[in-house]
Structure 1
């Protein structure tokens, strides 16, 4: 068992920002990440054309501003580079391939016990701390709804986390389901690459 005052679950931007702030106050912590890298949503599961949807001054992490050379709306590649510098600057060292299976608070000792599965060795590891920060994000597990006929559909079916760009879809008929930020941007990217793109919207577009 390992003990630290603070246990952070997730090494995305929120988890990294928490770790950096703790570092500045010399508060020991441990950061647990299910994937094999930090910011995995940005590094592994985001499409190429993605940009931050807010101006950069609203998106930088605490204690380290974006480079002055960055444009107003930052690209995926620029944000990943910034996060690389952020982790290096604050000497953040997450434990990777750790999948949290249980987190329990003991009312007597006033401590958290967190059990994780080491995805490399398969062993269960245990961590204990006074404070638990859950920074696992809201989009960690892709969801594909049950759609009648989807399993027998002969074409390719991709979740947005699997989409990189529209190069492979030129002259193909593509249906995008959903009109959120990802759906609209992916539809535009497909159209820009010559795909015959349609989009399904649940509610009227206002």
Structure 2
């Protein structure tokens, strides 16, 4: 049976969802709701921070100089490679061009409604009610759909630690979500908290203009050799004062600015409580395969896992869910789904694995998705290259993006000097 399906967000995951819905043998009807005026999601750069012109939070966390931290050879959708070229690590603008080309190649633009902010998603019997507001006119429209795919991303809701004394600090405090360029830190003493990819990039970039950068992290080993001499490492912050920060090693440093590079929380404020999922800072549950709502299997989330080959993940998750909608992939009864979902949550807790973290588990996970969807598995070379490069930023932060790669065959890649 042909379904009416709502896709929330026209970033990379939303485009993959729309494509596979349209390509289904059942020819589903697709409406993509996008708050911005163009497709691309997080890859669309804006100087705006804080609140947008409509009074709602700016979703983009893109900074001006951002380049991919994975090579294009592992970032691409499985059957739609990036344009040929020697450069493997790409500026954000090239990724945006790629997504626009993908949308045009698969004829997706006609089903995207731009400048539509999704206010509410609520189940009404066997259908879903979706209410949106036109960002420009404030007109509210309510639609009904048979299914909803949530593709709105999870890199916008700031996660900040609750540090004693932070309200007393006299300097500026911000989150990496609002970072665009280093100019504001010129000549200042800056504390960066967190050493994920954004924390590492910002430390290197801010150090080019700042008097001093203090990078607080809890990595097992020192990473000071990756930075210029005006960057010093410190362990976790224990408290903030009016003029600086105390650290776990008993030291204190005076700082002018604090920037929290502490990641993001999952947040889908448009979902009503009766949607059947619990959205917590670090987890959305109960879900089957990180995708399908156990309680309401016509609701799906695309793109929750991290430390993955991103666009391949979006592609295979979308293929899997469309197979569920089509009936090509049959789900067990709800009680079995609940037991399986809870067993997976328990396993992760016992093994100390964060709820949607994949890393090396992505190989069996993506293969399982492909099998359930009746799709082709990713060639092993993609995973081999991912394993080779995923954490190179901690080895040679300033230079790792200068390396280039070429896929030779399904098993082999070459590194080009």
Q: Using structure 2 for the length normalisation, give the TM-score.
A: 0.43
Tell me which of the two structures has the higher relative contact order, counting C-alpha pairs closer than 8 angstroms and 6 or more residues apart: 1
| 5+ residue gaps, structure 2 | 46-60, 222-417
Tell me which residue corresponds to 1:30. Answer: 31
List aligned pairs for 1:171-190, cutoff 5 A: 171-190=187-206
Is residue 13 of structure 1 aligned with residue 12 of structure 2? yes
Distance 1:144 1:33, change over 3 A: farther
The answer to whether the 8 Å contact 2:43/2:96 transfers is yes
State the secondary structure of the residue aligned to 1:158. strand
List aligned pairs for 1:149-164, cutoff 5 A: 149-164=165-180
What is the aligned counterpart of 1:205 among 214, 217, 220?
220
* Bigger helix fraction: 2
**What is the CA distance between 1:66 and its match in structure 2?**
0.3
**What is the CA distance between 1:133 and its match in structure 2?**
0.6
The answer to whether the 8 Å contact 2:35/2:117 transfers is yes
Tell me which residue corresponds to 1:119. Answer: 135
**What is the CA distance between 1:144 and its match in structure 2?**
4.1
Larger radius of gyration: 2
Instruction: State the Cα deviation string for residues 93-117 of structure 1 (Å, max 9, x = none).
Output: 422332223222344xx32221223
**What is the CA distance between 1:145 and its match in structure 2?**
4.6
Distance 1:97 1:46, change over 3 A: same
State the secondary structure of the residue aligned to 1:176. strand
Q: Using structure 1 for the length normalisation, give the TM-score.
A: 0.82
The answer to whether the 8 Å contact 1:114/1:127 transfers is yes
List aligned pairs for 1:87-98, cutoff 5 A: 87-89=103-105, 90-93=107-110, 94-98=112-116
Distance 1:145 1:192, change over 3 A: same
Is residue 82 of structure 1 aligned with residue 98 of structure 2? yes
Instruction: State the Cα deviation string for residues 109-152 of structure 1 (Å, max 9, x = none).
Output: x3222122333222321122222111111223234455455445
Tell me which residue corresponds to 1:129. Answer: 145
**What is the CA distance between 1:158 and its match in structure 2?**
2.7
Is residue 50 of structure 1 aligned with residue 66 of structure 2? yes
**What is the CA distance between 1:49 and its match in structure 2?**
3.1
Question: 1-side partners of 2:133 and 2:161: how far apart?
Answer: 28
Is residue 100 of structure 1 aligned with residue 99 of structure 2? no
State the secondary structure of the residue aligned to 1:192. coil
- Residues paired across the two proteins, number: 200
**What is the CA distance between 1:183 and its match in structure 2?**
0.9
Question: 2-side partners of 1:167 and 1:199: how far apart?
Answer: 18
